[in-house]
Amino acid sequence: MAAPGAPLRTLRALLRELRRAAGRSYRDSPAYRHVLAAFRAHRVTSEKLCRAQQELHFQAATYLCLLRSVREHEALHREYHGRGERSPQEVAGLVGFRLPQQPGGKG
C-alpha cells in the first residue's frame, strides 16, 4: 500500500492545512474533530500495520493532498490569473501620463 511517510507526520500536516482553511475557530470545525477522532480510534502509530489503519492513512494523505493543492492552485491563480485588466488610469501611469480631468485635454 502507498502513502509513504509516518502517519503522524501526515496527521500533523493535515491538521495544519485544516487550521489554515478554517481560521480562528479551527478546533471546533467538524473536519478537525473528525480527523482527530479517526486517528485516535485507529491509534495510528508506526508499529501497527493493520489494513484499516493503512486505509485511514491513505485517506488522510489524499485529503492532505487535496487541501494543499487547492491552496497552492488558489495562490497561483491569484498571483497570475486573477488580476484582470488594468484601469485606464493604471495604463496611463505605466508610461508616465495622467488622464485629463477636463474635456479637451485640459488639466
Partner 1 sequence: MVGAARWGHVGAGPMPRRQRKRFYQNVSISQGEGGFEINLDHRKLKTPQAKLFTVPSEALAIAVATEWDSQKDTIKFYTMHLTTLCNTALDNPTQRNKTQLIRAAVKFLETDTVCYRVEEPPALAELQKNEWDPVITWAEKRYNVTIGSSTSILGPNIPASTKETFVSHLASYNMWALQGIEFVITQLKSLILSMSLIDRHITVEKAVLLSRLEEEYQIQRWGNVEWAHDYDLCELRARTAAGTLFVHLCSESSSVKHKLLQD
User: Among candidates 56, 62, 33, which has minimal Cα distance to 48?
Assistant: 56
By CB under 8 A, residue 48 contacts partner 1: no
Residue 95 binds partner 1, judged by CB under 8 A:
no
Asked if residue 15 binds partner 1 (CB under 8 A), the reply is no
The one-letter amino acid code at 34 reads H
The grid cell for 46 is: 508506526
Q: By C-beta, is 63 or 92 nearer to partner 1?
A: 63
The one-letter code for the residue type at 74 is: E
DSSP 86-104: PPHHHHHHHTT----SSGG
**Least distance from C-beta 72 to partner 1, angstroms?**
5
Binding residue (CB under 8 A) for partner 1 from 6, 9, 50, 55: 55
Burial of 63 (0-12, 13-18, 19+ CB in 10 A): middle
Q: Which stretch binds partner 1 (CB under 8 A): 14-22, 42-50, 88-96, 99-107?
A: 14-22
Binding site for partner 1 (CB under 8 A): 1-4, 18, 21-22, 29-31, 34, 54-55, 58-59, 61-63, 65-66, 69-70, 72-74, 76-77, 79-81
